């Protein structure tokens, strides 16, 4: 066929006959389908962890420029109401809202080890919950692992960025020590946790603020002379029993921590998402990849580890998770400092692409 004849034939292809071609129709449908908007209340809210006391206005402008609408605001050990409110107002000038507010009063050793004075520290956290409620901030994070060691060394990964590593053998032989004057059993830590939750959960319900419980990272049952209780599925189930039917208790589901534990966790990441996420008990997500499960792992960028991060994103959308999700422990790229802008932009862009594709598939 001559080029002239081919052009005539192509011109005769009507619009209607074009749409009869399945490949063409499918391609055009993909191009014209409107994905769920990122600010739709039913969508996952891509966010980032933000140390608000050190974040500069230039940092906030950067977050606005990459399209970020939400943050997990980390206030440190103390957060008076006026400081929370002024922080909220400051972030709103950059079109950013606080989805999770974090204040470290819950980490008081008097609370977590059951020492005299814990009621005073619990009251401080109760006040924080009420303040979050007054400002419409819906979630706060808690964890319960006194005497924790997060890292045994910092390493340079094969791709050339530095990352946290944890090696059980190195920890046991070189780092582990008894942190306090005596050891603390799992029964004691459970009793202290239950005392704390029974004191703060009614206040959280009154304030309409959800408590998001982070697992123990790394998920080892005993560290530095203190038992750790949130190292597997059974720990979370027992915590849920203590909380009862309250919709204000749930998970800060840390994908990286669950990947660290591997087969020791009792349920894998997808089973956890279907179980707790399917019942609306995942309030926020730390989205992080790692090189391998224990006994040794190092953290990685999301596209550089052993976990299938797209499958995890899709599973969260399948249970209609609509809370916030942050890149966790973002590695620094060349030239990064402060909030690791290049690394953060890389992670946010990757997450946004995964989320858009997952929404297209799940519907």
For 266-350, list the strands marked E by DSSP. 282-287, 289-290, 296-300, 324-327
User: d(Cα 210, Cα 194) in Å, to the nearest integer?
Assistant: 17
Tens-digit pLDDT profile for residues 310-354: 999 999 999 999 999 999 999 999 999 999 999 999 999 999 999
Query: What is the arithmetic mean of pLDDT over 186-214?
Result: 98
Return the bridge partners of 297, or none: 166
- Overall average pLDDT of the 117-134 stretch: 98
Q: How confident is the model at residue 180 (pLDDT cuts 50, 70, 90)?
A: very high
Among the residue ranges 33-42, 66-75, 168-177, 282-291, the one predicted with the least confidence is: 33-42
Tell me the C-alpha distance between 271 and 269, whole Å: 6
| Confidence check: pLDDT of 31 > 90 | no
Band (37; pLDDT cuts 50, 70, 90): confident
Strands in 44-90 per DSSP E = 45-51, 70-74
Q: Which long-range contacts (CB under 8 A, 24 or more apart) does 167-175 make?
A: 167/295, 167/296, 168/220, 168/294, 168/295, 168/296, 169/295, 169/296, 171/223, 175/149
Nearest partner of 92 among 136, 122, 130, judged by Cα? 136
For the residues 26-34, what does the mean pLDDT come to?
A: 50
Query: If pLDDT is split at 50, 70 and 90, which confidence band does 35 have?
Result: low
pTM of the model as a whole = 0.90
Find the mean pLDDT for residues 212-240: 98
Question: Alpha carbon of 83 to those of 25, 142, 314: distances in Å?
Answer: 55, 20, 37
Query: What are the chain's domains?
Result: 1-33 (no CATH), 43-362 (3.20.20.150)
Collapsed DSSP state (helix, strand, coil) of residue 227: strand
């Amino acid at each position: 066929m001559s080029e002239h004849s081919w052009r005539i034939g192509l011109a005769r292809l009507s619009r209607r006959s074009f749409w009869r071609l399945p490949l063409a129709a499918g391609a055009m449908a993909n191009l014209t389908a409107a994905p769920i908007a990122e600010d739709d209340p039913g969508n996952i809210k891509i966010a980032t962890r933000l140390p608000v006391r050190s974040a500069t206005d230039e940092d906030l402008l950067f977050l606005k420029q990459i399209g970020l609408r939400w943050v997990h605001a980390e206030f440190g050990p103390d957060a008076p109401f006026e400081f929370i409110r002024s922080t909220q107002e400051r972030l709103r000038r950059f079109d950013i809202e606080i989805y999770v507010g974090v204040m470290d009063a819950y980490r008081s050793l008097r609370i977590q080890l059951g020492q005299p004075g814990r009621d005073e520290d619990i009251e401080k956290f109760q006040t924080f919950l009420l303040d979050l409620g007054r400002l419409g901030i819906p979630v706060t994070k808690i964890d319960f692992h006194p005497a924790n060691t997060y890292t045994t060394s910092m390493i340079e990964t094969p791709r050339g960025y530095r990352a946290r590593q944890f090696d059980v053998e190195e920890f046991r032989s070189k780092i582990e020590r008894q942190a306090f004057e005596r050891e603390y059993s799992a029964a004691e830590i459970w009793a202290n946790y239950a005392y704390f939750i029974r004191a703060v959960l009614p206040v959280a319900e009154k304030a309409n603020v959800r408590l998001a419980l982070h697992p123990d990272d790394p998920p080892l049952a005993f560290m530095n002379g203190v038992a750790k209780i949130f190292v597997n599925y059974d720990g979370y189930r027992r915590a849920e029993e203590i909380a009862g039917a309250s919709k204000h208790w749930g998970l800060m589901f840390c994908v990286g921590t669950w990947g660290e534990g591997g087969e020791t966790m009792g349920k894998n990441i997808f089973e956890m998402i279907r179980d707790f996420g399917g019942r609306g008990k995942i309030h926020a997500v730390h989205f992080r990849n790692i090189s391998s499960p224990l006994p040794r792992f190092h953290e990685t960028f999301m596209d550089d580890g052993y976990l299938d991060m797209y499958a995890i994103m899709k599973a969260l959308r399948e249970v209609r998770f609509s809370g916030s999700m942050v890149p966790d422990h973002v590695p620094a790229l060349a030239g990064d400092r402060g909030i690791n802008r290049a690394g953060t932009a890389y992670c946010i862009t990757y997450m946004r692409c995964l989320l858009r594709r997952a929404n297209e598939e799940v519907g």
